[in-house]
Amino acid sequence: MNRKNIAIIGAGISGLMLGCILREKKIECTLFERSKTISEYGAGITISPNGLLLLEQIGILDELNKSSCNPLSVCFKYSSGALIKKITSNEFGNILTTNRRELIRVLFNQYQNLGGEIIFNHQLEFYDEKVNKLTFENGSSYIANHVVGCDGIKSIIRSKNFNSRETPDYSGYSAWRGIGLSDSKHINLYFNSNSHIVCYPVNNKLETSFIAVFKDKNKNQETWRREGTHDELRNDLSEYDNFLQSIFKSSSKVFKWGMYVRPPLKTIFKDNITLLGDAAHPMLPFLGQGGNLALEDAYIFGSLCHKFQSNFELIQQKYQQARLQRTNKIQRMSKQQAMVYHATNPLITRTRNFLLRNTNIAKIRLQDIYAYNAIEEMNKI
Ligand SMILES: Cc1cc2nc3c(=O)[nH]c(=O)nc-3n(C[C@H](O)[C@H](O)[C@H](O)COP(=O)(O)OP(=O)(O)OC[C@H]3O[C@@H](n4cnc5c(N)ncnc54)[C@H](O)[C@@H]3O)c2cc1C
C-alpha cells in the first residue's frame, strides 16, 4: 500500500497554506482533495493584518494584491444608508478584500511551484488510527505517518475520530450572498433589527461581494451552492438602501444558505491526527477571522514540523499550546458579535450605536485580534 509522510485532508485555505509551509521546508507531504480540481465559490473574503503578514512571509502577497483591493475604510451604517461611524484603514491596519477563488488560486500555484503533491477526486471516508490507514470513497487507501484534518466545518475526521456523536448544528442564522457591481472603495456594514449586511469590493473591476445575514428559524442547508431568486432576496432584505438594492440587482446569481457551528474542542489532536482551520474551530463569520485563523494554524503547525522534525507528539502539544486559547477566544467573540449585530431591543441597539459613534470600541476589539503575529509567536517556541 502506498505510504505517505504527512497526509493533509482538504485543499482549502488551511490545507494549501500548510502544504506551502511544509514544502518550503522540504518536508514531504501530500494533499488529498475531494473535488476534481481546485475549486472555490465566487465569494468575498477579507484578510486582516494577522493573515496578510503570513501571505507576505510565503511570498504570495504581491501576486494576490494584483487581483484584490485594499478598502479605504470601514463604514458602519443604518439600513437607510445613514452613517454611524467611519474608521479609516490607517487606523485599522491594512485589510485586503478579495475573491476566495483568487486566494485559493494563488496558494495553489505556490504549492505547485514548491513541488507539492496533490491528489484530486479523493474524498476521505474513514481513517483507522490503529493501523494509520486512510480509506477514500473511490476505494483507494494509503498509510500515513501523520494525518492533518483540514477538511472544513463538516470535517469527517473530527466526526469519526474525535467525537462520533457530534455534527454541525444550525446556528439560527442564514445568509444571502452574491457578487454585484458598485464603485465603492469601502467596507460597508449595515445594521437593521434582526439582520446585517457586509459588502466590499473584491477587485478593481467594480465587483462587490455582499453577505446578508438574518435570523431564520428554518434550518437552511449548510451549502454555498443553493441558488435562490432575486424576488426571495428582495423579500428578505427590502428595508435596505438603494445602494445595496442596486448591488443585489446586478448580482447575476444569489445564494442562500444556513450557517452552522460546532462546539469548541478541549483538544485539537488525537493519536496521530491534528486538526486545523474550520475542522478544529468553525465559527460564525462575524469577525471575518475563520480564514485568517486557518492561515495562522497552518503557519504554526508547519513551522513546528520543521523545528521538531518527526516528533509529532511534541509538535501536537506545542501546536495546541500555541493555538487553542486564541482560537477558542475568537470563536466565542464571533458568537457575541452576532448578538451585537442582531440586537432587536431598542435600548440595546441605541446603546450599541451610541458606543460605536462615540468611542473606539469597534477598533479596539479588532486591533487586539489583528495584532497577533504568528511569526513572532513561533519564534518564542
Ligand atoms: C459567509 C462567510 C464569510 C466569511 N468571511 C470570512 C472573511 O471575511 N475572513 C475570514 O478570514 N474568514 C471568513 N470566513 C471563514 C472562512 O471561509 C473559513 O474559516 C475558511 O474557509 C476555513 O478554511 P479551511 O481550510 O479550514 O476549510 P475550507 O476552506 O472549508 O476547506 C476545506 C477543504 O476540504 C475539502 N474536503 C472536505 N471534506 C473532505 C474529505 N472528506 N476528503 C477530502 N477533502 C475534503 C473541501 O473540498 C475543501 O477544499 C467566512 C465564512 C463564511 C461562511
Q: What is the pLDDT of residues 36-46, one digit of tens each?
A: 998 767 789 99
* DSSP-derived 3-state class of residue 297: helix
Q: Angle between the 312-341 and 290-307 helix axes, to the nearest 10 degrees?
A: 170
CA dihedral 121, 55, 20, 177 (to 10 degrees): -10
Q: Which residue has the cell 465559527?
A: 283
Determine the distance separating the centroid of ligand 1 and the alpha carbon of 197, expressed in angstroms: 20
Contact assessment for residue 24 and residue 115, using Cβ atoms and an 8 Å cutoff: no
Class of residue 334 by CB neighbours under 10 A (exposed 0-12, middle 13-18, buried 19+): buried
pLDDT (0 to 100) of residue 218: 78
- The residue whose CA is least distant from atom 7 of ligand 1 is 288
Determine the distance separating the centroid of ligand 1 and the alpha carbon of 205, expressed in angstroms: 25
Domains annotated for the chain, with CATH where assigned, are 2-168+262-380 (3.50.50.60)
CB atoms within 10 A of CB 374: 24
Contact assessment for residue 41 and residue 211, using Cβ atoms and an 8 Å cutoff: no
> How far are the Cα atoms of 83, 175, 191, 195 from residue 239, in angstroms, in the given order?
16, 16, 11, 10
pLDDT (0 to 100) of residue 164: 65
Please give the number of the atom of ligand 1 that sits closest to the Cα of 123. 42
Determine the distance separating the centroid of ligand 1 and the alpha carbon of 2, expressed in angstroms: 28
Distance CA 243, CA 190 (A): 11
In tens digits, the chain (381 residues) has pLDDT values of 688 899 999 999 999 999 999 999 999 999 999 999 987 677 899 999 999 999 999 999 999 999 999 999 999 999 999 999 999 988 878 899 999 999 999 999 999 999 999 999 999 999 999 999 999 999 999 999 999 999 999 999 999 999 767 788 899 999 999 999 999 999 999 999 888 999 999 999 999 999 999 988 877 666 666 788 999 998 888 889 999 999 999 999 999 989 999 999 999 999 999 999 999 999 999 999 999 999 999 999 999 999 999 899 999 999 999 999 999 999 999 999 888 888 888 898 999 999 999 999 888 888 889 999 999 999 999
Distance CA 338, CA 174 (A): 12
Give me the half-sphere count of Cα atoms (radius 13 Å) on the Cβ side of residue 346: 0
Tell me which amino acid residue 369 is: I
**301, 313, 276, 14: which is closest to 145 by C-alpha?**
313
Q: Give backbone dihedrals phi and psi of 360, rounded to 5 degrees, phi first.
A: -100, 25
Sign of CA dihedral 354, 357, 362, 364: negative
Ligand 1, CB within 6 Å, residue ranges? 9-15, 32-35, 45-46, 123-124, 150-152, 156, 175, 211, 277-279, 285, 288-292, 294
pTM value? 0.96
pLDDT tens-digit readout, 241-290 = 999 999 999 999 999 989 999 999 999 999 999 999 999 999 999 999 99
Determine the distance separating the centroid of ligand 1 and the alpha carbon of 356, expressed in angstroms: 30
CA dihedral 190, 192, 195, 199 (to 10 degrees): -10
Contact assessment for residue 215 and residue 342, using Cβ atoms and an 8 Å cutoff: yes
pLDDT tens-digit readout, 193-208 = 888 999 999 999 999 9
pLDDT (0 to 100) of residue 223: 67
